[in-house]
Structure formats: C-alpha cells, structure tokens
Amino acid sequence: MLSYQHAYHAGNPADVHKHFALAEVLRLLTVKDRGVSYLETHAGRGLYDLSSEEAQKTGEAAEGITLVPSTDDIAFFKALAAVRAEYGDTAYPGSPMVAAKLLRPQDRMVFIERHPQEHAALRRAMKRSGAEIHHRDAFEGARAVVPLNPRRGLVLIDPPYEVKTDYADTGKLAADLRRRWPEAAVMVWYPILRAGRHTELLAATEEPDRIVHEVTFDLKGGQGMTGSGLLLLGAPYGTDAALEKVMAASASILRALS
C-alpha cells in the first residue's frame, strides 16, 4: 500500500488552485434547478485540521490558503465558512466537503477512496451528506460506476501521482470516462515537476475544446513541485471567465504559467 496522505498538504497553493476552480465549476453547473451528479475518483478524507501535527509538520497551508483574503466573489469561501462554522477556525475542506457544502438536495455525490484509514475518515466526515462512498480502486471503480444519473455532472480525478505510470493511466481514465459518460465534465489535477511527466497525461486527452490551466507558486518543502495544472474536458460555459476570477482572487500566491 502506498503512503500518500493529503493531511500533510491540505490548504497548500495547489489545493487553493484546485479547490477554488472546483467550487467555481460546481457553481456554474448548479445555476439551473435540475440535479447534477458529482463523482470523485480519489477523494481523500474530506476534512482536514490545519492545526494537526501533519499540517504543522510541513506548514504548507501557511504558504497557501492562509495568505489568500476571503472574498464573496469566490464560491470556495462559502464552503470554507460553512466548514469553519461547523468544525472550528482551523478546519479546511477537502474536495468532497467543498462539494457537500455547495451542492443541493437534488444533486448526487459519489466518492471513491482506496486507503482504509482515509476511507473510514471520509465516511465519518460525510455521515450526514447523503453521499455514496466506495472503498475500491479508482481506476477500476470509476469505470464501473459511470454513467451516473442525473446525467449532467462532473468528475474530479485527483490522484497522488506516487507512481510514474499514474500520469498516463490518469490521462487514459479521463478520456475513457468522457467516452462512457459524455454528459459529464471531467476535471483532472496534476503537479508540475521538473521531470514534466504531466505531458503524458495531456497527450491522452486531446479534445479540441479542452482547457489546460497551469499556475506556478513558491512552496518551500514542495518536493520539487513548481506548479499545478488543471485539465478540464467538457467544462460548462463560463469556466474560462471563472478561472480568471480564481487567478485574481489568489494573486497573493498563484501566478499564471506562460
């Protein structure tokens, strides 16, 4: 079993990039009353405490969310405020919790997480959310559960990239989920490292209207990560403008990668 635990990285600049963009895409998808489905292939534990030993050990949130001023313009801050009202001032929402705070009763959430402890913690965090939670492998499980009803929706693919083959496998998974469930948008997060392996991921997903959104940031202990990327396939109308808003709101830590 590999050992990645997101608690060491929660709230870092890459999380700000991913979670701000995720919240904006969810906002765009829920403008109409009709329900949507939201699937996460690598969900993590859903809820983090920035005062925990793990978070304090790396101090990554201090270089991330802590430096970004809250604004009503950004949907993520609605989720953050709801989570802090419920769990305290040092709580930080993982992506499943961002979705749980922004989606509505008519929407459906399905989460996949393979790590036993992370899965158990996710179940606890999502107890009252109505989410369906699977303890299984993402690459097998996501292919098995799609398409979901309601048909309109979003898939977030956010693997730890602990093994080199994760890049190509993630690209193939994204392309495959688009074929199996064309009504859903797909959003993939990837790290930008010197080795540049994310190009393998991008090569597998050559849709003409795809969005590739890459940022750079400073992160002292970031294990060589110089930036983060988001690949969006079938993104809803308005996503480009929403990403510009994300950049403006997080200008204290994120810079566009040109």
Site string for ligand SAM, 138-177 (x = CB under 6 A): xx------------------xxx-----------------
Least separation in angstroms between CB 244 and ligand SAM: 22
Q: What is the DSSP string of 201-234?
A: HHHT---TT-EEEEEE---TTSTTEEEEEEEEES
- With CB under 6 A as the rule, give the number of residues binding ligand SAM: 19
Give the number of other Cβ atoms within 10 Å of residue 151's Cβ. Answer: 14
Is 158 tagged catalytic?
Answer: yes
Give the number of other Cβ atoms within 10 Å of residue 130's Cβ. Answer: 12
As given in the structure block, the two tokens for residue 213 are: 């959104």
Q: How far apart are the first and last CA of the chain?
A: 37
Q: Considering the candidates 33, 49, 137, 158, report the single residue annotated as catalytic.
A: 158
Question: Is the CB of 23 or the CB of 243 nearer to ligand SAM?
Answer: 23
Q: Rounded CA gap, 131 and 123, in Å? A: 9
Put the strands of the sheet holding 108-112 in their side by side order.
132-134, 108-112, 37-40, 153-157, 184-193, 225-233, 211-216, 255-256
Question: Is the CB of 4 or the CB of 87 nearer to ligand SAM?
Answer: 4
Question: Is the CB of 17 or the CB of 152 nearer to ligand SAM?
Answer: 17
The residue from 137, 218, 240, 244 that contacts ligand SAM (CB under 6 A) is 137
Question: Is the CB of 18 or the CB of 213 nearer to ligand SAM?
Answer: 18
The residue from 13, 94, 227, 236 that contacts ligand SAM (CB under 6 A) is 94
> What residue ranges bind ligand SAM (CB under 6 A)?
4, 6, 18, 42-44, 94-95, 112-115, 118, 137-139, 158-160
